[in-house]
Amino acid sequence: MRASARARNLLGVSSTRRRRSREGLTLLEAAVLFAIVGGVLAAFLPTFFREIRTSKTAEAVSHLELLHQRTAAYFAAEHRAEDGSIVRRCLPESAGPAPEAPSKKPAEVSFYDEAIPGYTTFLVLGFQPDAVRFRYSLVSHREGCGLEHLGKGPDVEFIAEGDLDGDGTFSTFVRGAMIDEAGELVPYGPLRVKDRTE
């Protein structure tokens, strides 16, 4: 037994060293661990924060698509005119912005509030999202019924504006729609974005 202890001492391994290494990290081990953790954080933190900013803009994209779908359904539906006749191919009046100002955090807003310009348009479209960061507008370049294809740009635009970081610069998303030759309201061009995450 004594000979094996002497052999361990000759190899430079003592029981106190072995005990010390089990109780904590050496300086070299701590430096390696710190370098690994630092590298992982340097690689993933920028991506994480970029994803957080981008996820805030997903609200605008989905609500603009919803506004387009609801307006296309309204356009395809039959409506009763003031004289009692049935009319189709109607675009609603312009509406918004609602809410009056965007917010950094999602806020509950009643799009059916009479104080909102064109609130009846949001009402007939059934557009009432839960909580929003952006303010929304529907801009009809042609209003009324019996509308036909003109092929001169969008007939209606759906706009979302948000101030995601509170600096007064807006992220703006615009989706257009036009009446096609078949008499349907279809998307016009790609989603236009200005200052996506400001």
What predicted TM-score, i.e. pTM, was given to this entire model?
A: 0.74
In this structure, the answer to whether residues 96 and 182 fall within a common structural domain is yes
Same domain for 77 and 107? yes
Same domain, 105 and 28: no
Q: Which of 78, 76, 80, 58 is CA-nearest to residue 68?
A: 76
Identify whether residues 102 and 19 lie together within a single domain.
no
Q: Is residue 100 part of a domain?
A: yes
**pLDDT of 105 above 60:** yes
Q: Is the pLDDT of residue 161 over 80?
A: yes
144 and 67 housed in the same domain: yes
Whether residue 145 has pLDDT greater than 70: yes
Please give the pLDDT value at position 168: 85
User: Does residue 173 form part of some domain?
Assistant: yes
Q: Are 13 and 74 contained in the same domain?
A: no
Q: Is the pLDDT of residue 120 over 60?
A: yes
pLDDT at 165: 79
- When divided into structural domains, the chain yields a total of 2
Domain limits for position 31? 2-45
pLDDT value of position 42: 83
Q: Which is more confidently placed, 40 or 173? A: 173
> 50 lies in a domain?
no
Residue 114 domain-assigned (yes or no):
yes
Q: How far is CA 113 from CA 96, 98, 131, in A?
A: 11, 9, 15
Q: What pLDDT does 40 receive?
A: 86
Q: For residue 11, is pLDDT > 60?
A: no
Two structure tokens written together for 177: 């729609």
Q: Report the pLDDT value the prediction gives residue 17, as an integer from 0 to 100.
A: 53
Q: Where are the alpha helices (DSSP H) in 12-110?
A: 15-23, 27-76
Distance CA 169, CA 104 (A): 12
Residue 169 lies in a domain: yes
Are 62 and 100 in a shared domain?
yes
Q: Quick one: DSSP state of residue 91?
A: B
73/140 same-domain check: yes
d(CA 35, CA 29): 10
pLDDT at 198 over 90: no
Residue 51 domain-assigned (yes or no): no
Higher pLDDT, 94 or 14: 94
Q: Same structural domain for residues 88 and 123?
A: yes
Q: Does 140 share its domain with 169?
A: yes
What pLDDT digit, counting tens, does each position of 53-90 carry? 667 788 999 999 999 999 999 999 999 988 999 999 99
As a whole number, mean pLDDT of residues 20-47 equals 81
**9 and 60 in a common domain:** no
Say yes or no: 37 and 60 in one domain: no
